[in-house]
């Protein structure tokens, strides 16, 4: 239908504008897709509570996730106090294991996954794609309330007899459901039900992200013109589509083992001197299912972080992202590879060494696309006009931290190195660095970056700087010593570690040091929360597009964007989001909606 205007303009290589000055270059085909029918709310309830607007849902998701995450933070404080000062007797052994489990599950699933995909996904996808809303706003609302229900069920497990499950966040059977493990009855059941609800809600969310990104973009917005943020979230959603079913399947079967006495995972067991009725089940099968979910889950959290940080670095160093195509390919490649590495979490489960060898190889291959990304971030910074503001500081901290955590991953990915290090604090240090601190730094950077878009106000810079330096240096104070502890053999999961022949004195002192650092870093997060609340009410008013970014979310007629995002007409897109510091252009940025005729004489850089 549009073939006739496709080659109207003869392209001279090199110069964008001279050829297009003749007029027709700004032409876009008329909008073919009819505008989306939106639900317009009429009451407070349907605007703020049962909202069908993706922006509100995004904020709802983010607030719920952060609220749950605060609980996870408090649990970690209590655990750290117990480890450092066992003499105080702060926690009973059962409580310690319950807190470990809840801390892990909350942080990985209910905080990070929900925040990146539910929060940033809902907020940014429609705005960055130039759509009015998600494809199915009603399903989107259901998705959020399903998540709330999952959180409530999870929290309810604190109040049932026996308390929440203490099986560790991996929930391995048979110990998760045999007596002797805290919460082996109601606690684990509620946990599994909550996870099933989460997966169900998440699948509805994913439906929206995928359909919106693929089918509801505005005119001129091709896939390869999308900001990398959308690429990261989109690919993570595709991963979730394949990974979360494994958790669902494992969860359902373990619930049945627990409630009906089936033996999917339960082998013949003699427990407390009595033979249980179960027989023949395979606990290893659960481990495979769990990690077939669990490893891609790492990338479900990491890929949106990669995408977001790429955009932050490009905007705040006023430079085109280095190797955009390579960045997209790396995201896709990491996503694909993440499904072939799961058993590297199971080297000590008694599997065949050749099997381990295979998984060690695939694990090390992932280092290639990941390294490409790190190099590209650094090359984007190279000779850029770097603004050392808060989003940039957090992005830089992310690169360093991710590199650190990634390097220890190379150690743990090798079977022979992993076996002695497995179940020590080295592992704890590794995964907290790479999928705890690193994505959280991106979350903070992203919040400082997009806060003006949501509230119309800037976050306080001074409080932000304090928050940054304490978080950045503090998290190294916490996790660097843990690597050392791991090397000298301090085991993880022990609820108290006293002076013993197996434990060097330095290990004990380090425990106290780590705990104090953890308390300080945690307190800094409260400052951050205060900053959020304070600035949302009384922060400095933000100008439109305060960071001079190119992508569509800053180009709405109103800021903060209104319901329906775009006023009367959807935006038209003429370029990608990375035209920064283009030679010959008046400003150092050319927004995605700037037609070619408006930037005559400028020559776009090629990478």
Applying CB under 8 A, the span of 164-172, 260-268, 466-474, 505-513 interacting with another protein comes to 260-268
- For residues 141 and 408, what is the distance between their CA atoms, to the nearest angstrom? 40
Q: How many residues make contact with another protein (CB under 8 A)?
A: 75
Closest distance of CB 462 from another protein, Å? 39
**Measured from the CB atom, is 3 or 43 closer to another protein?**
3
Q: What tokens does 560 get?
A: 């903060």
**Measured from the CB atom, is 95 or 199 closer to another protein?**
199
The binder of another protein chosen from 39, 136, 339, 484 (CB under 8 A) = 136
Residue ranges in 366-395 that form contacts with another protein under rule CB under 8 A: none
Question: Is 589 one of the binding residues for another protein (CB under 8 A)?
Answer: no
Question: Is 29 one of the binding residues for another protein (CB under 8 A)?
Answer: yes
**12 conformational bin, left if phi > 0, alpha if psi -120 to 50, beta if neither:** beta
The binder of another protein chosen from 35, 159, 215, 541 (CB under 8 A) = 215
The binder of another protein chosen from 124, 150, 221, 434 (CB under 8 A) = 221
Applying CB under 8 A, the span of 4-12, 159-167, 294-302, 366-374 interacting with another protein comes to 4-12
Residue (of 304, 142, 279, 109) closest to 208 by Cα position = 142
Residue 123 · residue 55 · CB < 8 Å = yes
Question: Is 256 one of the binding residues for another protein (CB under 8 A)?
Answer: yes
Cα-based distances in Å from 285 to 234, 281, 428, 586: 29, 9, 24, 62
**Measured from the CB atom, is 31 or 506 closer to another protein?**
31
- For residues 521 and 2, what is the distance between their CA atoms, to the nearest angstrom? 57
Question: Is 241 one of the binding residues for another protein (CB under 8 A)?
Answer: yes
Applying CB under 8 A, the span of 29-37, 175-183, 353-361, 424-432 interacting with another protein comes to 29-37
Phi first, then psi, for residue 87 (nearest 5°) are -65, -25
Question: Is 576 one of the binding residues for another protein (CB under 8 A)?
Answer: yes
Q: What is the DSSP string of 179-220?
A: TTSTTTTHHHHHHHHHHHHHHHHHHHHHHHHHHHHHH---TT
Residue ranges in 179-208 that form contacts with another protein under rule CB under 8 A: 203, 206-207
Question: Is 277 one of the binding residues for another protein (CB under 8 A)?
Answer: yes
Question: Is 176 one of the binding residues for another protein (CB under 8 A)?
Answer: no
Buried b (16+ CB within 10 A) or exposed e, 301-323: bbbbbbbbbbbbbbbbbbbbbbb
Residue ranges in 327-366 that form contacts with another protein under rule CB under 8 A: 328-329, 332
Question: Is 607 one of the binding residues for another protein (CB under 8 A)?
Answer: yes
Question: Is 492 one of the binding residues for another protein (CB under 8 A)?
Answer: no
- Up-side HSE of residue 331: CA atoms within 13 Å toward CB? 29
Local structure of 541: helix, strand or coil: strand
Applying CB under 8 A, the span of 58-66, 112-120, 261-269, 399-407 interacting with another protein comes to 261-269
Closest distance of CB 439 from another protein, Å? 24
Q: What is the DSSP string of 267-279?
A: ---EETTEE-S--
Residue 8 · residue 24 · CB < 8 Å = yes
Question: Is 260 one of the binding residues for another protein (CB under 8 A)?
Answer: yes
The binder of another protein chosen from 38, 46, 178, 220 (CB under 8 A) = 220
Closest distance of CB 313 from another protein, Å? 18
Residue (of 112, 116, 106) closest to 191 by Cα position = 106
Residue ranges in 278-307 that form contacts with another protein under rule CB under 8 A: 279-282, 285, 289, 292
């Amino acid at each position: 239908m549009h073939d006739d205007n496709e080659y109207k303009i003869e392209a001279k290589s090199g110069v964008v504008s001279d050829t297009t000055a003749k007029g027709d270059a700004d032409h876009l085909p008329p909008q073919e897709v009819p505008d989306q029918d939106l639900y317009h709310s009429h009451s407070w309830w349907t605007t703020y509570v049962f909202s069908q607007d993706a922006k509100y849902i995004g904020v709802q998701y983010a607030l719920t996730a952060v609220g749950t995450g605060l609980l996870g933070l408090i649990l970690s404080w209590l655990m750290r106090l117990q480890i450092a000062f066992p003499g105080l007797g702060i926690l009973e052994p059962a409580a310690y294991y319950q807190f470990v489990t809840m801390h892990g599950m909350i942080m990985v699933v209910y905080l990070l996954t929900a925040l990146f995909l539910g929060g940033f996904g809902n907020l940014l996808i429609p705005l960055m794609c130039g759509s009015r809303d998600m494809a199915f706003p009603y399903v989107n609302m259901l998705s959020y309330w399903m998540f709330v229900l999952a959180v409530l069920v999870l929290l309810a497990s604190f109040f049932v007899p026996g308390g929440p499950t203490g099986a560790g966040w991996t929930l391995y059977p048979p110990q998760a459901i045999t007596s002797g493990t805290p919460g082996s009855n109601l606690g684990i059941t509620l946990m599994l039900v909550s996870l099933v609800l989460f997966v169900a809600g998440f699948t509805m969310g994913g439906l929206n992200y995928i359909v919106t990104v693929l089918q509801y973009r505005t005119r001129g917005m091709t896939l390869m013109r999308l900001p990398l943020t959308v690429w990261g979230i989109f690919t993570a959603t595709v991963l979730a589509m394949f990974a979360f079913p494994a958790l669902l399947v494992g969860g359902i079967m373990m619930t049945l083992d627990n409630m009906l006495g089936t033996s999917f995972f339960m082998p013949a067991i003699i427990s407390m001197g009595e033979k249980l009725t179960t027989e023949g089940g395979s606990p290893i099968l659960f481990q495979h299912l769990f990690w077939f979910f669990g490893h891609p889950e790492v990338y479900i959290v990491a890929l949106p972080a990669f995408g977001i940080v790429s955009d932050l670095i490009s905007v705040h160093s006023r430079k085109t992202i280095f190797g955009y195509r390579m960045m997209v390919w790396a995201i896709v490649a990491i996503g694909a590879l993440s499904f072939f590495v799961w058993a590297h979490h199971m080297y000590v489960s008694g599997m065949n060494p050749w099997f381990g060898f295979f998984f060690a190889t695939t694990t090390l291959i992932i280092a290639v696309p990941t390294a490409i990304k790190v190099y590209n971030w650094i090359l984007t910074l190279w000779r850029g006009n770097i603004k050392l503001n808060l989003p940039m500081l957090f992005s830089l901290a992310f690169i360093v931290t991710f590199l650190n955590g990634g390097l220890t991953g190379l150690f743990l990915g090798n079977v022979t190195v992993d076996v002695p290090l497995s179940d020590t604090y080295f592992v704890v240090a590794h995964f907290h660095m790479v999928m705890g601190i690193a994505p959280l730094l991106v979350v903070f950077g992203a919040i400082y970056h997009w806060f003006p878009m949501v509230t119309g106000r800037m976050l306080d810079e001074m409080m932000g700087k304090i928050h940054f330096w304490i978080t950045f240096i503090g998290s190294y104070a916490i996790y660097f010593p843990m690597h050392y502890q791991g090397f000298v053999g301090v085991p993880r999961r022990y609820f108290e570690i006293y002076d013993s022949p197996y434990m060097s004195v330095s290990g004990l002192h380090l425990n106290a040091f780590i705990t104090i650092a953890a308390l300080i870093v945690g307190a800094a997060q409260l400052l951050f929360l205060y900053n959020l609340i304070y600035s949302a009410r009384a922060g400095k008013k933000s100008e439109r597009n305060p960071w001079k970014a190119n992508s569509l979310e800053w180009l709405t007629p109103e800021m903060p964007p209104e319901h329906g995002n775009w006023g009367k007409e959807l935006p038209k897109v003429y370029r990608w989001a990375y035209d920064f510091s283009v030679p010959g252009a008046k400003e150092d940025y050319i927004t995605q909606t700037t037609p070619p005729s408006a930037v005559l004489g400028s020559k776009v850089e090629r990478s």
